[in-house]
C-alpha cells in the first residue's frame, strides 16, 4: 500500500494514526500541497488533488480519510486495533461521531484558522460565531467523555483517530483545560504509541518549515 499525505494535514494525521494503530505497512508518499510542481504532479495522478489518498496493493485509489480507515480495518481484521467495532450499535455510534468531528470540529477549526491567518480581511462576527460553535462542540465531546474512556467506549476507534489530530490546535486556541474530561482524554491520547509516531512526523515537518526546507501547506 502507498499513502499520499502531508504530515501537517489533520486528515492525513487521522489516517496515519489509524495505520499505526493497525500496525499496517505502507510506503509513505509526502505531497507538498503548497509547492505548485508537486501539486501539479499529484493532480495528474489524482485530479481532485486532495490528501490523504491510499493506493491499495491492487492499485485501487481510495480517497477520504474515513473510507481509507474502513478499508484498512477490513483488510487487516486480525491486526492491531479494531477501528470500526463489530458490535453494530457501537459501530453506528463510531461512524456518527467520526462524521460529526469532521464536519463540526475539524472543518470549523480550519475555517477559524483561515480567518485568523488574515487579520485584515477577517470578519470579527464570523470569528465569534466559529468560536462559539467550536466551544459548543467541545462541550458535547466533554459530556460524552464523562462516561467513556475513549469516545465510543473502552477501545480506541475511528472516531478517536478523527478527534485526536484536532486537539493540539484546540488546546492552543481554545481553553481545553476548562473541559475536565477532554483534558484527561488528551493526556491519555498523548501516551498512545500510534500518537507518538504521528507526533514525531509532525515535529519533523514543523522543524523543516522553520528552517525553510519545506513550504508551509
Residues that bind ligand GSH (CB under 6 A): 9-11, 33, 49-52, 64-65
For ligand GSH, give the closer residue by CB, 49 or 181.
Answer: 49
CA distance 46 to 209: 25
For ligand GSH, give the closer residue by CB, 34 or 139.
Answer: 34
| Nearest distance in Å: CB 146, ligand GSH | 28
| Nearest distance in Å: CB 12, ligand GSH | 6
Q: Smallest Cα–Cα separation from 51: which of 6, 19, 105?
A: 6
Where do we find the cell 493526556? 187
| Nearest distance in Å: CB 216, ligand GSH | 13
| Nearest distance in Å: CB 51, ligand GSH | 4
For ligand GSH, give the closer residue by CB, 65 or 91.
Answer: 65
Helices (H), 54-106: 65-75, 88-100
For ligand GSH, give the closer residue by CB, 142 or 170.
Answer: 170
Q: Which three cell numbers stand for residue 29?
A: 508518499
| Nearest distance in Å: CB 6, ligand GSH | 7
For ligand GSH, give the closer residue by CB, 152 or 161.
Answer: 161
Contact 83, 14 (CB under 8 A): no
For ligand GSH, give the closer residue by CB, 68 or 142.
Answer: 68
Distance of CA 210 to the CA centre of its chain: 22
CA distance 69 to 84: 9
| Nearest distance in Å: CB 195, ligand GSH | 18
Distances 104 to 89, 107, 148, 164 between C-alpha atoms, Å: 22, 6, 20, 14
Determine if residue 59 is left, alpha or beta; phi over 0 gives left, psi from -120 to 50 gives alpha, anything else beta.
left
Amino acid at each position: 500500500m502507498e499513502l499520499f499525505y502531508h504530515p501537517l494535514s489533520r486528515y492525513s494525521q487521522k489516517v496515519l494514526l489509524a495505520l499505526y494503530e493497525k500496525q499496517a505497512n505502507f510506503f509513505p508518499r509526502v505531497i507538498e500541497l503548497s509547492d505548485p510542481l508537486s501539486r501539479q504532479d499529484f493532480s495528474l495522478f489524482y485530479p481532485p488533488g486532495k490528501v490523504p489518498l491510499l493506493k491499495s496493493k491492487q492499485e485501487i485509489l481510495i480517497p477520504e480519510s474515513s473510507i481509507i480507515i474502513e478499508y484498512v480495518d477490513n483488510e487487516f481484521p486480525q491486526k492491531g486495533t479494531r477501528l470500526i467495532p463489530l458490535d453494530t450499535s457501537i459501530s453506528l455510534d463510531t461512524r456518527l461521531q467520526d462524521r460529526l468531528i469532521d464536519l463540526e470540529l475539524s472543518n470549523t477549526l480550519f475555517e477559524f484558522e483561515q480567518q485568523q491567518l488574515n487579520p485584515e480581511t477577517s470578519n470579527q462576527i464570523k470569528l465569534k460565531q466559529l468560536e462559539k460553535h467550536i466551544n459548543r462542540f467541545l462541550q458535547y465531546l466533554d459530556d460524552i467523555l464523562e462516561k467513556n474512556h475513549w469516545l465510543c467506549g473502552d477501545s480506541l476507534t475511528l472516531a478517536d483517530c478523527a478527534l485526536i489530530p484536532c486537539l493540539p490546535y484546540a488546546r492552543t486556541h481554545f481553553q481545553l483545560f476548562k473541559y475536565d474530561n477532554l483534558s484527561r482524554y488528551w493526556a491519555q491520547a498523548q501516551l498512545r504509541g500510534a500518537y507518538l509516531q504521528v507526533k514525531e512526523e509532525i515535529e519533523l515537518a514543523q522543524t523543516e518549515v522553520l528552517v525553510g526546507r519545506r513550504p508551509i501547506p
